[in-house]
Amino acid sequence: MQTYSYYPGCSLHGTAKEYDHSLKLVMSKLGIQLHEIPGWNCCGATAAHSTDEILGLALPARNLILAAARNQPLLAPCAMCFNRTKITQHEIQNPATRKAVEERLDGADLEATGASRLEVLSLLQALASDEMRAAAAKWVVRPLEGLKVVCYYGCLLVRPAEVMHPDSLENPQAMDRLMEAMGAKVLDWPFKTECCGASLAIARSDVVVALGRRLLSMARGVGADAIVTACPMCHSNLDTRQAQIKARYGESFDLPIFYVTELMGLAFGFTPRQLSLSMHVTNATRLAERIGRTQG
């Protein structure tokens, strides 16, 4: 039985609870145990690295030390948490940087604790490898036939390329293939890695509304029924702002935004209720039930 240390991050305990729920259900089916790191802290997101370089690295470093104690790969399903944690491991390869970070952490040793070498996985790395995809395909009892989706990777899962190692920088396929394995019809679209506006949502929601509208419009334009994503920020920006988009642009999208794990959960036979789909602001349950109904 594979066990991962689990770093949910602030979103999966808050605005992205359904991601957490669906993830746990999917992992249970796949026989992967998740052990939440006790006492984990916020990764610092954009705020930290925009304010204080070392703070932006020390916050994820603390989590790495906590996780390293268990010597298991660390799963970080939130794209931001994953991105910051990987960047930290990358930056501390520079001895001067590492020293500064260790000083912030009251002299902790990032090498000796194993923090610098700990294997850190994103959701796609954990589930979308050829191996895992094949394993997941075996659990599909309700293929997502008839569901047309576009895969939205966002920024943080693919950039910077030298740290994230995506299968392709401009046209990644990992999520696409995983969703195909779940039986969905995955449509090609050109905005796989376009930014949603991220944390500008708080103070400059007009930017997020504009970018969100562009994304939803393109998704609808290529014929998608839904967008699937693996980033809580992208999810939030696209799911919760459709009313604002309508108010600003007069366009009504009603396009459900799913997490990868939610669609996997549906394919595995879990109900929308079990997957907490009702937590979506843009109704996703209607579409989810329709997929179920088309199955005889």
* Binding interface with other proteins (CB under 8 A): 10, 13-17, 38-42, 44-55, 58-59, 62, 100, 103-106, 155, 159-161, 168-171, 188, 190-191, 193-195, 197-200, 202-207, 210-211, 218, 221, 240-241, 243-244, 247, 278-281
Mark 252-291 as b/e (b = at least 16 C-beta within 10 Å). ebebbbbbbbbbbbbbbebebeebbbeebebebbebbeeb
Q: Give the residue with the Cβ less far from other proteins, 30 or 207.
A: 207
What gap in Å lies between CA 267 and CA 282, rounded to an integer? 20
In the complex, what is the shortest distance from the CB of residue 269 to other proteins, in angstroms, rounded to a whole number? 24
In the complex, what is the shortest distance from the CB of residue 185 to other proteins, in angstroms, rounded to a whole number? 18
In the complex, what is the shortest distance from the CB of residue 295 to other proteins, in angstroms, rounded to a whole number? 27
What gap in Å lies between CA 161 and CA 183, rounded to an integer? 29
Q: Give the residue with the Cβ less far from other proteins, 132 or 151.
A: 151
Q: Give the residue with the Cβ less far from other proteins, 116 or 242.
A: 242
Q: Give the residue with the Cβ less far from other proteins, 112 or 161.
A: 161
In the complex, what is the shortest distance from the CB of residue 211 to other proteins, in angstroms, rounded to a whole number? 6
Q: Give the residue with the Cβ less far from other proteins, 139 or 217.
A: 217
In the complex, what is the shortest distance from the CB of residue 95 to other proteins, in angstroms, rounded to a whole number? 14
In the complex, what is the shortest distance from the CB of residue 138 to other proteins, in angstroms, rounded to a whole number? 32
Q: Give the residue with the Cβ less far from other proteins, 147 or 215.
A: 215
Residue with tokens 């104690």: 69
